[in-house]
Structure 1
Amino acid sequence: MNIIALLLLAFAMSTDAFAAAIGKGATLQRPRFSDALRMGILFGVIEAITPLIGWYLGQFASAYVEAWDHWIAFTLLAFLGVNMIKSGLSSHDDEETSKADKHSFLSLVLTAIATSIDSAAVGVSLAFVNVNIFVAAGLIGLATTIMVTLGVMIGRVVGHLVGYRAELLGGATLIVIGLWILGEHTGVITSAML
C-alpha cells in the first residue's frame, strides 16, 4: 500500500470523528484553539490505537469485529446523541455544571471510541495487506487530530448561529453519524449514493 493510499485511508477514517467534533464544538461556549487541540489529540490517540487492536486481533476476530462494529458504534453514538438532545431540551439554569457534564472526559472518550470502531475493522483488514501498521495507525491518528481540531473550531461558528440550544445539533449529529455507519454496513447506504 503506497503513501497516497495510506493518506486517503487516514482521512477517510477521520470523517466520523470530524462530524462528531463539529457537534461537540457547537455545544461548547466559545472553545479556544487549545481546547480544540486537546480534543483532537484525545480523538487522534484513540483513533490510532484502534487499528492496532484490530491488527493484533487479526484473523481470529475479523468476522466478529466486522459483524458487530456498526452496531456498537451506532449504539454508543445514539446513546450520547439522545443524552445531548435531552440536555438541550432541559432547563439551562446551571449552565456551567451542564457544560461540564456534557463535555466530561468520559463523554469525550466514549464519543472517540464510538467514532473509531470502524478503524479496528480496518486494522483487521490491514493485517492481510503489505503495510506497516504503525505508520498506518500514526497517519490515522494524525489525520483525526487535525480533523477533530478543525471540527471543533467549525462547530464554534455553528454554535454561535444556533445559540444555547446547540446541543440539539450536536446530539442530532451523533445520531446521524451512527445511522450513517449502520446504513453503510447494512447496505441501506451504498457507495453509489455518495
Structure 2
Amino acid sequence: MSFLSIILIGFAMSTDAFAAAIGKGAAMQRPRFPEALRAGAIFGAIEAITPVIGWALGLAAAAYVTAWDHWIAFVLLGVLGLRMVRAGLQQDAPADDDDDARPHGFWTLAATGFATSIDAMAVGVGLAFLDVNILLVAGVIGVCTLVMVTTGVMLGRALGAIVGKRAEIIGGLILIAIGSVILYEHLSGKGGGIGLA
C-alpha cells in the first residue's frame, strides 16, 4: 500500500470524528484552542488504537483466508464507505438543548471517540490481509484525527453540521475507492503495488 493510500485512509477514518467534532464545537460556547486540542488528542489516541486491535484480530484469521484476502479488504472497505456515505446523506435528529449544555468531559469525549472509531477497527481487520506497517497506518490515522477534530471543534459554531456531513460522504467515497484499487491490483496481478514505497 502506497503512502498516499495510507494518508487517504487516515483522512477517511477521521471524517466521522470530524463530523462529530463539528457538532461538539457547535454545542460548546466559544470553544478555545486548548479545549479543541484536548478533544483532538482524545479522539486521535482512540482512533489510532482501534485499527491495531482490528489488525490483530484479522491477523489471527489471516492464515485461513489468504486466498480471499483482497475480496475481504474490498468488501470491508466498501461496506464501511457505503455506510459513511449513507450516514452523510441522512438528516440529523434535532439536538437536545439540555444535552448540548452538558460539559464535554473526558469520558463524554472518549465515548464519542470510541463510537466514531469502530469503522477504524474494521479497517484494521481488512489491513491484516495486506502487506502494511500497521503502526504507521495507525499513527497516520491518529494524527489525521487529531488535526481534523481540533479543526472541527474550532469551526463548529461557524460551519454547523452541513460541512461535517459532506466530509463523511467524501471519506466514505475514499474508502470505496481504496477498496476497489486493492481488488484491482490483486486481480490484475499488480499486487506489488501494495508494498510501502
- TM-score norm. by structure 2 comes to 0.63
Query: 5 Å matches for 1:182-193?
Result: none
Pair 1:125 & 2:134 matched? no
Corresponding residue number in structure 2 for 1:17: 17
Query: 5 Å matches for 1:21-40?
Result: 21-40=21-40
Structure 1 counterpart of 2:132, which letter? V
Q: Which runs of 4+ in 1 moved over 4 A?
A: 59-63
CA RMSD of aligned residues (A): 3.4
Give secondary structure in 2 for the equivalent of 1:14: helix
How far did 1:137 drift? Answer: 0.2
Gaps of 5+ in 1: 159-168, 185-189
How far did 1:151 drift? Answer: 0.5
Instruction: Give the fraction of aligned pairs with identical amino acids, expressed as a percent.
Output: 49
Corresponding residue number in structure 2 for 1:107: 108
Structure 1 counterpart of 2:96, which letter? S
Distance 2:40 2:157 in 1: 14
Distance 1:4 1:38 in 2: 27
Structure 2 counterpart of 1:99, which letter? R
Structure 1 counterpart of 2:27, which letter? T
Corresponding residue number in structure 1 for 2:158: 157
Corresponding residue number in structure 2 for 1:87: 96
Distance 1:58 1:153 in 2: 36
How far did 1:44 drift? Answer: 0.3
Corresponding residue number in structure 2 for 1:146: 147
- TM-score norm. by structure 1 comes to 0.64
How far did 1:12 drift? Answer: 0.7
Alpha-carbon distance change, 124 to 48 in structure 1, aligned in 2, over 3 angstroms: same
How far did 1:173 drift? Answer: 9.6
Distance 1:109 1:32 in 2: 19
Give secondary structure in 2 for the equivalent of 1:48: helix
| Aligned residue-pair number | 149
